Structure 1
Amino acid sequence: MTYNLRLALLGPLRGWSGGEALDLGPGRLQALLAVLALRANQVVSADELVELVWSDAPPSTGAKIVPPYVYRLRKLLPEDVVTRGRDGYSLRLDPEALDLSRFEQLVTAGQSARQDGELDTAAARLSEALAQFHGEPLSGLAGHYLAVQRHRLTERRLKVLAERIDLDLDRGRSADLVPELVELVDEDPLREQFAGQLMLAYWRSGRSSEALETYGRVRRELVDQLGVEPGPYLREIHQRILHNEAPRPAVRDELPYDGSTFVGRERELGEVVTALSPTSTGLPVVAIDGMAGVGKTALAVRAARRLADVYTDGRLFIDLHGYTPGREPVPPAEALDRLLRTLGVTPDRIPADLEERAALWRSELAGRRVLIVLDNAPDGTAVGPLLAGSPTCGVLVTSRRQLTELDATARVALDVLDPRAAEELLTAMVGPEQAADSDAAAAVVGYCGYLPLAIRVAGSRLRHRPSWTVEHLSSRLGAQDRRLAELSTASGGVSPAFALSYEHLSADEQRLFRLLGQVTAQDVEPYAAAAVAEVEPTTAEDLLERLVDANLLLELRSGRFQFHDLLRQYARSLGEPETDTTERLADYYLHAAAEAGAAIFGTRMTEIPSPAMATLPSLETPADGLAWGDAEGTNVLATLRRTDALGLDEATWRLGLAIATYFYQRARPDEMDEALELALGAARRDPADNGEAEARVLLSVGSLGRYRQGAEQSLRPLREALDRLPPTGDLVLRGRLLAALGYTQAKVSPDDEALRFLQEALEVARRVGNASLESRVLAYIGVTHGDRLEFADALAAYEDGLRLAKKAGDDGVQPEVLNGIGECLLELDRVDEALDVLTTARTLGVERGADYSLIYSLAFLSTAYSRHGRWTEAQEVAREALRLAMDSGSRQSELNARLRLAQTLLAYGDPEQARPHFVRALDLALDEGQESVIGAAAAGLADCDRSA
């Protein structure tokens, strides 16, 4: 059975039920609970409880005082934890529910590891055991029994602490132990064991005079206070120092404690260990780089420990303080002085000149098997003089920068943890019970960006706040504006770590870092970065690469740069003006999107201010335009949302129009709708607009949306656009609106009203001399005549439109016009000519990535192939047309593709496969009200019935 109670005795008495802290009542009630906890799962009689709890003030009522106290205790604790039997009372606890039990388990594990010769593991377990203490055990609780237990547990802690210090001495950690031991000896100079350990630490660190001074000071204290001489333990150490017997162990191990939680780095650990295997060809040098808090030092130390059997003469460690708050980096000369002293070189032998000092260092290492860990290096130049020369040695360097100037034999770029390993780290820190809610735990590590430092800070906060749950922590971290504060502490954490990296940047790098923090795009390339920083793209690219070298930006794909989420938030917190940055980026995206659209469609689709503020990339071919949109479409939409939120209305409607045509072309309807919705809202708010901007957006809403929502639905925004356009408004815009209205009306009903709209549009196009617009209007007239089954008139209009399009150099309209010509030729039974024209249309459609025109080319080709009896090709292109139509979300495209596929299958003699396509085509045609298609689909179904 599991009991829902945890207690801590190794400090002030505390208790939790699940993740909730308990109010344990007044002092005497806590004393009763502490006694029961010390005898957990044992029966304690009422008389014993009186003696153990009330020994300092025995009650006159005797054992009768116990039941009411037990009753009050039960009210404070989870149900059924305190039980009463015939012989007394018992507190039911799980083995892991008491910190004292956990302490003893860890001590036993540490002592067992020490017996097996696993000194690193033994030290780690004893350190974990000591970490269970959070102050004086049972502090503040009255009673003789608890006072005895308090003294016992304090002595037990000091004994285990001495064992752990002995282990560190055996592991060559002498220099690191000195500060800790100085404090212990100052607190209790009569405890000879700590005094002796301090003497050994001084002695083995080459500080014999301070070791002897410690002995003299402790001896005086013993004589003055107790009247006794030091014991044999201290005297033996004193004599060994006087006789200079083996002042340090043969093997140096300067590696720091690397913690008990190391997860998710097995692949990188294997790479480092393999790369550091000594070779006869040269010195192995491994460089580990990564952003602040990613776990570089932990990986380096764990790898160095894994290599203990390879580097049998020692593992040396020095922090070069490249990124340490309030400290300058350690100069190479000072680092060499420390390292040489570690090897036992006396000060008088260490030369002052840096080159001579480096030569002595290499000489001392010659022939030895020593691994040198150079942690927190500021750059490669600081590391060069510290490299060994002997191939039997190894060097492991960590830095926040990519040490490109260092001639490393292997490099490991450390990334954040994967989500599963991140959750494992959190669980290891707070325990499986606290991290039991997997969804909340996944959210916490996600908010931490899977960065080990952030997860450790979050885990520490949760572990030291027993009243918190992982759900509560998740909700706190979910507030983006306070996330960095939640993951930072007075002594460190995420923001201070990032600040150190930022401070090492040049002024130009710092400015770009701050500006990019205001960019809401997922990633950024040099042209966009140049726009926000107002520099040339080559300069921006150089700065971006330097930020990558400093591990403050990621380059996940060549030429595409992005932030880690927490670094983005830190950059935003540095206070660069958001509106100015967003305006510059939006202007760049507007002009680049317009250039991309012109490349894709062969003509400019939107009117934009000129010139662009920033340099634009070269966008000459349709492939260039589509590639730019594929890379930047999501980023443009994110920027569009930001301009809208900041109230930049003109930028929003212009940018929304510019990118919507790309989304239309790539059949990304949801993104197209969002861009147009934002654009329309901004146009209606723009105080500088007289209705013309709104008309432009409504034209796109109606024209681009027609393929998804149908012709009848599209008439409303188009009519509204014509109403909003001022009488003195742009004539080209009026012509485009009339053309769109005529074409859309023709799709509802190819009547005389549709032709009147189109004829008026044609007159406007000719009046302004716009051949491109004229060619499009003629194409729409061709469509209308085709829907009226007037194929000779349709063909004449299409051919006039094609001639004008070629004259105007409007490549964008040509695939559509060729499709129309091909359809007319099919209907006029000029199949060979149709096949040639439609093949050209398909080629242009593929080149331009024009999904909608390509759908029609393929659909019409299926009819042309079937007329020639080329059934395999006919079915292939018809099914490809249907696949593209379904991907596009266009009902009109689906209607045409299904009808052509059904007709091909029926002509092939497969009415059963043709029938469902005719049925779907008929449903779509009825929804759209297209009488000619309704008739064709109905006739096809009738033919299927006759063939069955």
Structure 2
Amino acid sequence: MTESLRLDLLGPLRAWSGPEALELGPIRQQSLLAVLALRANQVISPDDLVELVWSEAPPATGAKIVPPYVYRLRKLLPEGVVVHSRDGYRLQLAPDALDLDRFESLVSAGRTARAEGDLDAAAAELSAALALFHGEPLKGLAGHYLAVQRHRLTERRLKVLSERIDLDLERGRYGDLVPELVALVEEDRLREQFAGQLMLAYWRSGRVSEALDTYGRARAELVEQLGVEPGPGLRAIHQKILRNEGSGVPGPVVRDELPYDGANFVGRDRELTEVVAALTSDAHAERMPVVAIDGMAGVGKTALAIRAARRVAEAYPEGRLFIDLHGYTPDRSPMSSAQVLDRLLRTLAVAADRIPAELEERAALWRSELAGHRVLVVLDNAPDSAVVKPLLVGSPTCAVLVTSRRQLTDLEATTRLALDVLTPDDATALLTEMVGSTRADDEAAAAAVVEYCGYLPLAIRVAGSRLRHRPSWTVEHLGRRLGAQDRRLAELSTDGGGVSPAFALSYGQLPADQQRLFRLLGLMTGHDIDVYAAAAVAGAEPDGTEVLLESLVDANLLLEPSPGRYQFHDLLQYYARSLGETEVDVARRLATYYLYAAADASEAIFSSRLNPLPPPPPIKLPPFDGPADGLAWGDAEGGNVLATLHKTEALGLDELTWRLSLTISPYYYQRSRLDEMDEALELGLVAARRDATDSEAESRILLSIGNLGRYRQGAKQSLQTLQESRRLLPEAADPVLRGRLLASIGYSMVKLDPTDEALAVLAEALEVSRRAGDASLSSRVLAYIGVACGDRLEWEESLQAYEDGLRFARKVNDVAIQIDLLNGIGECLLELGRVDEALEPLETAHALGVERGADYSLIYSLAFLSTAYSRQGDWDEALSVARESVRLAMASGSALSELNARLRLARTLLGVGDAGHARPHFARTLELATEECQEVAISAAAAGLADCDAAEATAREM
């Protein structure tokens, strides 16, 4: 029974009865057990037990207190372990029942092995002995006797640890020892034994400067704390290093200076392969590999560099040097080239009196020392290219691996790698590695967390650390905390580092003008920005602004996903926003730029401006040489403009909001971005209703909503919106605006029913446009009259209206309306049986529509061309353009456009004898025409279905 008890004293007291761990009760009871264990198999009198256990506060009852405690121990421990005799009490333990006994046995075995010359076995025995310690010996137990024993055992452990380190030094494990010894020296700066061993480990690794620095720090600590010089042992090691006696390091050989590269290294397979290949490729036989890795703060440059350096260790057997250039270290200036060379040369055991003072001579000595050797030099956190250039080795047998937050564009690197954030899968894998698969089993929540972290390794590590140290948190809870944008940076930063401090170091390295632009851009409203918009935000010239933008890209504080377009990593933008610029000022400047740029783009697309603007501010706008430029600008900036509208509306910048919504909406319409168009106009309407400075504002917005939204809302809803606009229009309103409104009202009336009343409204609009002298408006009204006459099947009158409108449009070069007029002319000629004449206007309209990206106009050009080609017997071409017309119509969301396109396609299919495929198109046309109350289309669709029936009946009879 006694053999089943085991006790551990080399840490908090623990006990087992067989495999079962025992609960040992109150501290004093544990102290009594510990005293008995330390004197196992010895009889201890009650008086002695009182002295040993209760020494600091002996009980008034004296030795009478012992039996109750012994009784409880007997109940707790296996039977027969606590033995009582006339002289006292004894803890009966089997050999090796105490971890302390096992410790001493292992130490003895280790010393025997060392005496026999088996250093590996000796180190293994001592390591096994040290592994028995599981914390501070006898931790927390009361009494002076146990305190003395605690100190004795701690010192015993340190002595054995020192012996094991000596063994490792003898075995040449210098590089492996450095991290362990650094921690030991930091833990007790007055313990000379470990300081001396660290000096030896550094020195025998070839890291002479660090060995000497260690001595200097140890001496300073001893003098300051104790007022004494280092002991003879430490001084002897110091002198030995100074004289370079017996280091065992021939020339510049360095075993390994690479730091620990962390347990959580995930992904980067492609990048790691690229760096390893660059450092080991035979292509560099005549030229030293220089690999430069750059990227934003926290993206994992150092981790990748160290991992790659370890992968290529065999290719550089004479050493791997590592030095932090402190380009971005808090409260520390970057190292100069001269300082780095001094450090590197001393690492190679070059005597101080041989190191030149001049930088060029120092660099030459550095190159000479490494010539012909196979050494890898890792230069971490380089501030710029100028510091790195003198450090390049030159010998093709060596290699240099550099990391920096800046793009080292002036460095002649053989390989460059711009390190991006992790992929979503790798980011999730990193979080899972940190917190465990059990904690991260909610895949959606984990994906949300790493997305909030911007897939940035540093941010993910901070988030994972927070989760790991808070057992009550779930990944979903962490995700909710990170989901609040105003607190995200705080959640991903700590007192000792994290995201914000890392970004702050990069920001702090910038000149003042770059810092200002960085702060301002942080408040940009869209996804990205171009040079002109950035210049407007900064109140500067585009050329100078472009230089600053490229500098921020070089510093990896800004991304350039495509030439001339710049954007932030999400977390960097949150940091920039936290730096104090005024949001409303930036939004105002950006919206003003977008307003006038959109107006110029619109004029380039449509050859006219629909809405007047105040005189532009003194800002530079991009050039627009034609429709393609205007469309390209809108394609790039359309989303940013909408985001800006949301911001200006929220900030109460009402006039800017409604004017910008009016100016950008025709582009959205042209590109069939109708959801964005609706959203922009709704924001404009809210702002216009609040803006008391312009009585026409709300009426203008409602006009655009009714006019541009006609094909989405339907003619009836459009007419109601336009009538509301007319009611709000002031009596003294701009006559052109009144004419546009009357024209839109008349056109909606026409689409409901082309009555004489509708034509009268259009006639009034035409008269207003002529009095105002606005040829563009006149051409637009005549186009509407042409549609009305066509819906009345009055094709000659319709053709006349279209041709008159085309003359007005060409007079002012309004190409946008010319496309619609040419389509109308082509349709009339088709209906009048003049097919050959119809092709020219229709093909011209199609070409102009393609040039201007006019999807709505193209729907009709293609639909009418399908009819023309089919009547000429070119059925393949007819079907091709008809199908494209239907595709564009369905994408537009316009029921009227779709029914027109489907009707033409159905007729073409029927013409080639494919009644089966024509039928569903006729049926869908009938459905849409009925919904839109289009009588002519209803009749045409019904007739088409009847023709399908007849064709199928004829086919069956045959």
In structure 2, which of residues 854, 858, 866 is the aligned counterpart of residue 850 of structure 1? 854
CA gap of 1:630–1:494, structure 2 versus 1, over 3 A, is same
Deviations 1:410-441 (A, max 9, x none): 11111111111111111222222222222221
In structure 2, which of residues 668, 688, 691 is the aligned counterpart of residue 686 of structure 1? 691
In structure 2, which of residues 800, 804, 810 is the aligned counterpart of residue 800 of structure 1? 804
1:513 counterpart residue number: 518
1:17 counterpart residue number: none
1:224 counterpart residue number: none
Unaligned runs of 5+ in 1: 1-8, 13-30, 68-118, 220-228
Please tell me whether the aligned partners of residues 776 and 808 of structure 2 are also in contact (alpha carbons under 8 angstroms): yes
1:791 aligns with 2:792: no
2:583 counterpart residue number: 578
In structure 2, which of residues 256, 265, 269 is the aligned counterpart of residue 266 of structure 1? 269
Please tell me whether the aligned partners of residues 52 and 145 of structure 1 are also in contact (alpha carbons under 8 angstroms): no
1:549 aligns with 2:559: no
Please tell me whether the aligned partners of residues 257 and 320 of structure 2 are also in contact (alpha carbons under 8 angstroms): yes
Letter in 1 for 2:364: A
Deviates more, 1:893-902 or 1:425-434: 425-434
In structure 2, how many angstroms separate the alpha carbons of the residues matched to 1:700 and 1:40? 87
1:115 counterpart residue number: none
In structure 1, which of residues 456, 470, 492 is the aligned counterpart of residue 461 of structure 2? 456
2:933 counterpart residue number: 929
CA gap of 1:709–1:54, structure 2 versus 1, over 3 A, is farther
Q: How much has 1:835 moved relative to structure 2? A: 2.0
CA gap of 1:47–1:774, structure 2 versus 1, over 3 A, is closer
1:896 aligns with 2:870: no
Letter in 2 for 1:489: T
1:910-925 pair list within 5 angstroms:
910-925=914-929
Q: How much has 1:235 moved relative to structure 2? A: 11
1:623 aligns with 2:628: yes
Q: How much has 1:236 moved relative to structure 2? A: 11
2:388 counterpart residue number: 383
The secondary structure found in structure 1 opposite 2:416 is strand
1:246 aligns with 2:247: yes
In structure 1, how many angstroms separate the alpha carbons of the residues matched to 2:675 and 2:638? 12
1:24 counterpart residue number: none
1:438 aligns with 2:453: no
Letter in 1 for 2:717: Q
With structure 1 as the length reference, what TM-score do the two structures score? 0.83
1:288 aligns with 2:289: no
CA gap of 1:351–1:865, structure 2 versus 1, over 3 A, is same
CA gap of 1:141–1:529, structure 2 versus 1, over 3 A, is farther
Please tell me whether the aligned partners of residues 327 and 335 of structure 2 are also in contact (alpha carbons under 8 angstroms): yes
In structure 2, how many angstroms separate the alpha carbons of the residues matched to 1:46 and 1:598? 88
CA gap of 1:460–1:248, structure 2 versus 1, over 3 A, is farther
The secondary structure found in structure 2 opposite 1:403 is coil
In structure 1, which of residues 382, 401, 406 is the aligned counterpart of residue 406 of structure 2? 401
Q: How much has 1:409 moved relative to structure 2? A: 1.1
Letter in 2 for 1:832: D
Unaligned runs of 5+ in 2: 1-7, 34-52, 54-65, 78-119, 223-230, 953-958
CA gap of 1:572–1:215, structure 2 versus 1, over 3 A, is closer
Please tell me whether the aligned partners of residues 786 and 799 of structure 2 are also in contact (alpha carbons under 8 angstroms): yes
Deviations 1:68-109 (A, max 9, x none): xxxxxxxxxxxxxxxxxxxxxxxxxxxxxxxxxxxxxxxxxx
The secondary structure found in structure 1 opposite 2:647 is helix
Please tell me whether the aligned partners of residues 875 and 912 of structure 2 are also in contact (alpha carbons under 8 angstroms): yes
Deviations 1:180-228 (A, max 9, x none): 4433554656xx6775455554676548889999999999xxxxxxxxx
With structure 2 as the length reference, what TM-score do the two structures score? 0.82
2:827 counterpart residue number: 823
The secondary structure found in structure 2 opposite 1:408 is coil
Deviations 1:819-850 (A, max 9, x none): 11111111111111112221111111111111
Please tell me whether the aligned partners of residues 165 and 177 of structure 1 are also in contact (alpha carbons under 8 angstroms): no
In structure 2, how many angstroms separate the alpha carbons of the residues matched to 1:516 and 1:49? 62
Deviations 1:778-801 (A, max 9, x none): 010010011011111111111100
Deviates more, 1:839-848 or 1:519-528: 839-848
Letter in 1 for 2:934: Q
In structure 2, how many angstroms separate the alpha carbons of the residues matched to 1:734 and 1:239? 99
Letter in 2 for 1:546: S
Q: How much has 1:174 moved relative to structure 2? A: 7.5
The secondary structure found in structure 2 opposite 1:484 is helix
Q: How much has 1:466 moved relative to structure 2? A: 2.3
Q: How much has 1:895 moved relative to structure 2? A: 0.8
In structure 2, how many angstroms separate the alpha carbons of the residues matched to 1:732 and 1:139? 92
Deviations 1:849-870 (A, max 9, x none): 1100100011111111111221
The secondary structure found in structure 2 opposite 1:829 is coil
In structure 2, how many angstroms separate the alpha carbons of the residues matched to 1:64 and 1:715? 98
1:266-665 pair list within 5 angstroms:
266-277=269-280, 279-665=284-670
1:876 aligns with 2:880: yes
In structure 1, which of residues 830, 843, 859 is the aligned counterpart of residue 863 of structure 2? 859
1:725 counterpart residue number: 729
Please tell me whether the aligned partners of residues 378 and 402 of structure 2 are also in contact (alpha carbons under 8 angstroms): yes
In structure 1, how many angstroms separate the alpha carbons of the residues matched to 2:832 and 2:470? 83
Q: How much has 1:900 moved relative to structure 2? A: 0.9
Q: How much has 1:177 moved relative to structure 2? A: 6.8
Please tell me whether the aligned partners of residues 199 and 212 of structure 2 are also in contact (alpha carbons under 8 angstroms): no
RMSD: 3.8
Q: How much has 1:907 moved relative to structure 2? A: 2.2
Structure 1 vs Structure 2: percent identity of aligned residues?
60
1:751 aligns with 2:755: yes
Letter in 2 for 1:260: A
1:840 aligns with 2:844: yes
In structure 2, how many angstroms separate the alpha carbons of the residues matched to 1:614 and 1:495? 34
Please tell me whether the aligned partners of residues 861 and 877 of structure 1 are also in contact (alpha carbons under 8 angstroms): yes
In structure 1, how many angstroms separate the alpha carbons of the residues matched to 2:586 and 2:10? 54
CA gap of 1:10–1:875, structure 2 versus 1, over 3 A, is farther
Letter in 2 for 1:711: A
Please tell me whether the aligned partners of residues 282 and 391 of structure 1 are also in contact (alpha carbons under 8 angstroms): yes
Please tell me whether the aligned partners of residues 195 and 214 of structure 2 are also in contact (alpha carbons under 8 angstroms): no
Report which of the two structures shows the higher radius of gyration computed on alpha carbons. Answer: 2
In structure 1, how many angstroms separate the alpha carbons of the residues matched to 2:837 and 2:479? 67
Please tell me whether the aligned partners of residues 195 and 214 of structure 1 are also in contact (alpha carbons under 8 angstroms): no
Please tell me whether the aligned partners of residues 842 and 864 of structure 2 are also in contact (alpha carbons under 8 angstroms): yes
CA gap of 1:807–1:186, structure 2 versus 1, over 3 A, is closer
The secondary structure found in structure 2 opposite 1:252 is coil
In structure 2, how many angstroms separate the alpha carbons of the residues matched to 1:327 and 1:173? 28
The secondary structure found in structure 1 opposite 2:323 is strand
In structure 1, which of residues 179, 183, 187 is the aligned counterpart of residue 186 of structure 2? 183
Letter in 2 for 1:730: D
In structure 1, how many angstroms separate the alpha carbons of the residues matched to 2:168 and 2:499? 33
In structure 2, how many angstroms separate the alpha carbons of the residues matched to 1:693 and 1:491? 54
CA gap of 1:195–1:397, structure 2 versus 1, over 3 A, is closer
1:739 aligns with 2:740: no
In structure 1, which of residues 256, 261, 281 is the aligned counterpart of residue 259 of structure 2? 256
In structure 1, how many angstroms separate the alpha carbons of the residues matched to 2:934 and 2:590? 45
The secondary structure found in structure 1 opposite 2:386 is coil
The secondary structure found in structure 1 opposite 2:609 is coil
CA gap of 1:210–1:634, structure 2 versus 1, over 3 A, is closer
CA gap of 1:847–1:925, structure 2 versus 1, over 3 A, is same
2:96 counterpart residue number: none
Letter in 2 for 1:913: H
Deviations 1:901-945 (A, max 9, x none): 111112222222111111111111111111111111111112222
Please tell me whether the aligned partners of residues 184 and 194 of structure 2 are also in contact (alpha carbons under 8 angstroms): no
Q: How much has 1:766 moved relative to structure 2? A: 0.5
The secondary structure found in structure 1 opposite 2:321 is strand
Please tell me whether the aligned partners of residues 514 and 575 of structure 1 are also in contact (alpha carbons under 8 angstroms): yes
Q: How much has 1:552 moved relative to structure 2? A: 0.5
1:92 counterpart residue number: none
In structure 2, how many angstroms separate the alpha carbons of the residues matched to 1:800 and 1:215? 99
CA gap of 1:778–1:328, structure 2 versus 1, over 3 A, is same
Q: How much has 1:607 moved relative to structure 2? A: 2.1
